[in-house]
């Protein structure tokens, strides 16, 4: 024990290496050094109250991160050397990775930029250090994800130009605009949006059950980067909760501001995660847990415990959580049938679920699947078998705020599309929901400039008027390789060859 | 309400009608036909007739649905921007108040989509 | 309403000791095995003690080492040299 006593304890070490490294400026005013700290209306009385429960210091950070990286890259190497892509459950699974690489990995990079920026804007040293570490984490996530998937890029289509696609492709404007919205807000809203609403309340849905699903489908590379990233995430989530408690404890005037941000960012995150709902239910051939089950555990149960804890500050659960809870029975099915009909313009393939998958969905979605969604697939399968694989050749209306096509249905009325419209300064705007409409009405100046992909095509800003030109030239999606139906695609044929089965013909009978 | 910002925060709307080179946007929703996942976003000429909208744009857009051949859109029930609306087949869109980014909803009596599920 | 805290570990050699230690110190906790991960939840409070872990591992163990194997947590965190606590108060 004598050796141990020579070591600083965690609390002292954190104090010396974090707070005590900061200083009081003498020849510049604090408000000139940190000019962005007040305009949002958040009142901070005493920064010394900021708690970092992990008490992580830079020396320990490097040590543990280095260890994580070593473990991670050992697995990447083994995966590549052993042609791990041949051992996945089915090549349909790789389509989830295409969506991940073009939709999620660029967000990690956006998060890196976001934390690097706000890490400069707080006058409290504890908050600056926490943001600095998180910025480095996010950069690591972006890099490791690209490294993990570079192996798949050698063997499958659709993974070749993810950052380019992220900036241009219609459905990728959903994640892109989400993060742009957060990064253009003030520093406290950014932390409430990303650290709290997204990291703490919602990202478990992506990184825990989906990554467990990746393992269950034989993808050791992805589950490893997923869980390695998520091990940083535990720290980020803790930061998210501490941020909220800190702001709320500082001044009672902060409560209504934070409540509105929670309402907004819960909803924006929920809309973004609708993409994950279909990844879980449709793009994992071996199923671990349904979207509805994941929502129940990670939002209704864990989120419920969280918001009960926050009650004492006068915070209530997000305003539209009832709509989100009701949507769990429908979300993945509505999303998948949307992507199915617009597969001509995606960098991944879609397909009709196989019979045992549909039976699994009947079991997991007893209230909705057989009544509303199984008939859709039966019809689409019949059409495909007759040589009329369905594609929707007309572009969809998009929501001005979340940018998802206005495909969602009203709560309790799953055959009625939810739609709202307002006129603002003489212009009409359309929304997928009351919640998105409210977000617009609160800050219309922000959303009137939304770069809506459908409207941009019609304005002639995407290198062509027809879908084919836009897809090939503007999106860099290779027609006939990356897009369209999975059955009969080059990926499908390649997979059949790997598995030593006779090459797939172009028959699109899904059964 | 308005944005809380560090400077006078004002931007032009991205989708003003003048950005569409003489055309305008129109959305059309056909309830109970969720084969089409969302309302259509259409690029139309403001001076085209309602009949041309139906024959040249709406019919082809909906053709993949078995109800489409049976649908008498011109004599169906229309709603324009949440208000009941009786279209004039041979008047232009502009002249009957269908302006840029308007939304039309058309219900076709007797046609309830497939599988008793509004599909 | 029940108010659960939870912790999720990667299912690896290190974490199996962690899970064992957690279950020993929190006998009322529930353990769930899912592909590649171990999830433990408990009503209101979960604690990981350094002492128990050192016993399991037969070596010195720094509480922060758990950062390598943990995937997710739910609850307020309190960490010092001797323990890691998750709690809804």
Q: Is A31-350 a CATH 1.10.620.20 domain?
A: yes
Burial of B67 (0-12, 13-18, 19+ CB in 10 A): middle
Distances (CA, A) of B95 to B29, B42, B46, B102: 21, 18, 9, 13
Backbone angles phi, psi at A38, to 5 degrees: -115, -20
Secondary structure, 3-state, A248-276: HHHCCCHHHHHHHHHHHHHHHHHHHHHHH
Whether residue B91 lies within 8 A of chain A, CB to CB, comes out as no
Mutate to test the interface with A, among B4, B37, B98 (most CBs of A within 10 A): B37
The region, left, alpha or beta by phi > 0 then psi within -120 to 50, assigned to residue A314 is left
Sort out which chain C residues have CB atoms less than 8 A from A215's CB and list them. Answer: 35-37
Touch between chain A and chain C (3+ CB pairs, < 8 Å)?
Answer: yes
CB distance A67–C8 less than 8 Å?
Answer: no
Chain C nearest-CA distance from A216, in A, is: 6
Chain B environment of A331 (Cβ under 8 Å): none
| Whole-structure pTM value | 0.95
- Position A238 scores a pLDDT of 86
Q: How far apart are CA A262 and CA A188, in angstroms?
A: 12
Quick: pLDDT tens for B17-74. Answer: 999 999 999 999 999 999 999 999 999 999 999 999 999 999 999 999 999 999 999 9
Cβ contacts of A67 on chain C, cutoff 8 Å: 68
> Under an 8 A CB cutoff, do A212 and C88 touch?
no
Rounded Cα gap, residues A421 and B102, in angstroms? 9
Residue of A nearest to C71 (CA): A231
Size of interface A-C (CB pairs under 8 A): 101
- Which chains lie within 8 Å of chain B at 3 or more CB pairs, if any? A
Q: Which of C1, C2, C6, C10 to mutate to test the interface with A (most CBs of A within 10 A)?
A: C10
Residue with tokens 């603002």: A424
- Does residue B60 form part of some domain? yes
3-state SS of chain C: helix, strand, coil percent to 5?
Answer: 30, 45, 25
Summarised one tens digit per residue, pLDDT across range A49-89 is: 998 888 888 899 999 999 999 989 999 999 999 999 999 99
| pLDDT for position A504 | 54
> Kind of pairing, strands C37-43 and C4-10?
antiparallel
Label residues B72-109 b or e (16+ Cβ within 10 Å = b).
Answer: ebeebebebbeeebebeeeebbeeeebbbbbbbbbebe
| pLDDT score of A202 | 85
Residue A372 corresponds to which tokens in the numbers above?
Answer: 């509303």
Which chain B residues contact residue A455 at CB under 8 A? 14-15, 25, 41
Interface contact B14-A394, CB threshold 8 A: no
For the record, the structure tokens of A379 come out as: 């019809």
d(CA C36, CA C11) in angstroms, rounded, equals: 5
Contact: A442, B1; criterion CB under 8 Å: yes
Any B CB within 8 A of A184 CB: no
* Cα of B117 to nearest chain A Cα, Å: 6
Q: Is B39 inside a domain boundary?
A: yes
Q: Is there a contact between C35 and A9 if contact means CB atoms under 8 Å apart?
A: no
**Number of CB pairs < 8 Å for A and B?**
141
Tell me, yes or no, if B46 comes closer than 8 A to chain A by beta carbon.
no
What pLDDT is attached to residue A508?
46
Task: Please indicate, yes or no, if residue B44 is contained in any of the structural domains.
Answer: yes
In whole angstroms, give the CA distance from residue A237 to residue A303: 13
- How many domains is chain B built from? 1
Residues 53-72 of B with CB under 8 A from A: 60-61, 64
Q: Are C66 and C48 in contact (CB under 8 A)?
A: yes
Find out whether A485 and A358 touch, Cβ atoms under 8 Å. no
DSSP A19: G
**Burial group, residue A13, by CB count within 10 angstroms (0-12, 13-18, 19+):** middle
The domain that holds B73 is classified in CATH as 3.10.20.560
Q: How far is A59 from chain B (nearest CA, A)?
A: 36
Q: Cβ of B41 and A459 within 8 Å?
A: no
Contact: C71, A67; criterion CB under 8 Å: no
pLDDT of residue A503: 63
Q: What is the rounded CA–CA span in Å between residue A177 and residue A194?
A: 13
Query: Of C35, C73, C79, which has the smallest distance from its Cβ to A216's Cβ?
Result: C35
What chains are in contact with A, requiring at least 3 Cβ pairs below 8 Å? B, C
- Angstroms from B10 CA to nearest CA on chain A: 6
pLDDT at A152: 96
CA-based nearest distance C44→chain A, Å: 9
Q: Quick check: ipTM above 0.90?
A: yes
Interface partners of chain C (CB pairs < 8 Å, 3 or more) are: A
Q: In what order do the strands lie in the sheet with C37-43?
A: C30-34, C37-43, C4-10, C70-74
Nearest Cβ partner for A227 among C2, C71, C73: C71
Chain A residues with CB under 8 Å of B27 CB are 397, 430
Contact B10 A407 (CB under 8 A): no
Instruction: State whether A238 and C74 contact (CB < 8 Å).
Output: no
pLDDT for position A1: 47
Tell me, yes or no, whether B76 lies in a domain: yes
Q: Please state the domain extents for chain A.
A: 31-350, 352-389
Dist CA A236 CA A228 (whole Å): 13
Chain A nearest-CA residue for C4:
A305
Residues of A with CB under 8 A from a CB of C: 9-11, 53-56, 60, 64, 67-68, 71, 204, 207-209, 211-213, 215-216, 223, 227, 230-231, 233-235, 237-238, 241, 288-289, 301-302, 304-306, 308-309
Q: Can you give the pLDDT at residue A510?
A: 41
- What is the structure's pLDDT at A225? 85
CB of B7 less than 8 A from some CB of A: no
Q: In 3D, which of A362, A360, A368 has the Cα closest to residue A286?
A: A360
CB A433 within 8 A of CB A323: yes
Which residue range is the domain that position B46 belongs to?
A: 22-107
* pLDDT under 50: residue ranges of chain A: 1-2, 507-511
């Amino acid at each position: 024990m004598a050796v141990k006593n020579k070591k600083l304890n965690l609390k002292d070490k954190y104090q010396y290496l974090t707070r005590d490294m900061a200083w009081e400026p003498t020849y510049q005013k604090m408000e000139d050094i940190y000019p962005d700290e007040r305009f949002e209306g958040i009142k901070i009385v005493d920064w010394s109250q900021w708690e970092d429960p992990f008490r992580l210091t830079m020396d320990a950070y490097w040590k543990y991160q280095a260890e994580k990286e070593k473990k991670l890259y050992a697995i990447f190497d083994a995966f590549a050397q052993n042609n791990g892509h041949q051992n996945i459950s089915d090549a349909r699974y790789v389509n989830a990775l295409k969506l991940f690489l073009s939709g999620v990995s660029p967000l990690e990079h956006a998060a890196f930029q976001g934390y690097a920026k706000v890490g400069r804007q707080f006058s409290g040293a504890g908050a600056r250090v926490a943001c600095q570490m998180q910025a480095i984490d996010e950069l690591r996530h972006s890099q490791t994800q690209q490294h993990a998937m570079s192996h798949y890029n050698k063997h499958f289509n659709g993974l070749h130009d993810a950052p380019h696609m992220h900036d241009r492709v219609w459905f990728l404007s959903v994640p892109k605009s989400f993060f742009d919205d957060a990064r253009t807000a003030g520093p406290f809203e950014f932390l409430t949006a990303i650290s709290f609403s997204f990291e703490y309340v919602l990202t478990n849905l992506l990184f825990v059950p989906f990554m467990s699903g990746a393992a269950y489908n034989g993808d050791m590379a992805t589950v490893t980067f997923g869980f390695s990233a998520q091990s940083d995430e535990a720290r980020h989530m803790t930061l998210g909760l501490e941020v909220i408690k800190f702001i709320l404890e500082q001044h009672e005037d902060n409560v209504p501001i934070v409540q509105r941000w929670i309402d907004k960012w819960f909803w924006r995150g929920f809309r973004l995660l609708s993409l994950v709902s279909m990844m879980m239910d449709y793009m994992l051939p071996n199923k671990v847990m349904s979207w509805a089950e994941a929502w129940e555990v990670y939002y209704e149960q864990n989120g419920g415990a969280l918001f009960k804890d926050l009650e004492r500050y006068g915070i209530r659960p997000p305003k539209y959580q009832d709509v989100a809870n009701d949507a769990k029975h429908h979300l993945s099915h509505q999303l998948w049938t949307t992507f199915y009909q617009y597969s001509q313009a995606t960098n991944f393939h879609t397909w009709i679920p196989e019979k045992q998958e549909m039976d699994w969905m009947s079991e997991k979605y007893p209230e909705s699947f057989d009544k509303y969604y199984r008939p859709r697939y039966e019809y689409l399968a019949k059409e495909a078998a007759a040589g009329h694989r369905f594609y929707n050749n007309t572009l969809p209306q998009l929501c001005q705020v979340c940018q998802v096509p206005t495909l969602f249905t009203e709560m309790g009325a799953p055959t009625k599309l939810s739609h709202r419209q307002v006129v603002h300064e003489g212009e009409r705007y359309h929304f997928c929901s009351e919640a998105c409409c409210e977000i617009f009405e609160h800050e219309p100046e922000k959303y009137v400039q939304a770069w809506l992909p459908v409207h941009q095509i019609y304005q002639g800003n995407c290198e062509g008027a027809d879908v084919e030109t836009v897809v090939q030239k503007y999106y860099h999606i290779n027609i006939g390789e990356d897009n369209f139906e999975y059955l009969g695609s080059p990926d499908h044929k390649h997979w059949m060859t790997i598995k030593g089965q006779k090459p797939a013909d172009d028959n699109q009978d899904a059964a | 309400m308005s944005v809380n910002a560090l400077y006078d925060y004002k931007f032009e709307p991205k989708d003003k009608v003048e950005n569409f080179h003489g055309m305008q946007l129109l959305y059309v929703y056909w309830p109970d036909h969720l084969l089409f996942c969302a309302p259509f976003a259409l690029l139309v000429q403001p001076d085209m007739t309602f009949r041309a909208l139906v024959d040249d744009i709406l019919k082809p857009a909906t053709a993949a649905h078995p109800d489409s051949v049976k649908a008498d859109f011109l004599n169906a029930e229309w709603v324009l921007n949440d208000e009941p609306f009786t279209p004039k087949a041979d008047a232009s869109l502009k002249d009957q108040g269908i302006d840029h980014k308007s939304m039309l909803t058309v219900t076709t009596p007797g046609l309830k989509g497939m599988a008793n599920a509004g599909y | 309403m029940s108010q659960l805290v939870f912790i999720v570990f990667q299912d690896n050699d290190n974490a199996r000791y962690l899970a064992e230690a957690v279950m020993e110190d929190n006998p009322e906790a529930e353990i769930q095995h899912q592909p590649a991960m171990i999830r433990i939840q408990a009503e209101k409070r979960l604690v990981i003690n350094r002492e128990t872990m050192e016993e399991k591992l037969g070596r010195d163990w720094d509480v922060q080492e758990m950062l390598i194997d943990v995937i997710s947590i739910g609850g307020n965190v309190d960490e010092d040299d001797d323990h890691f606590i998750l709690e809804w108060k």
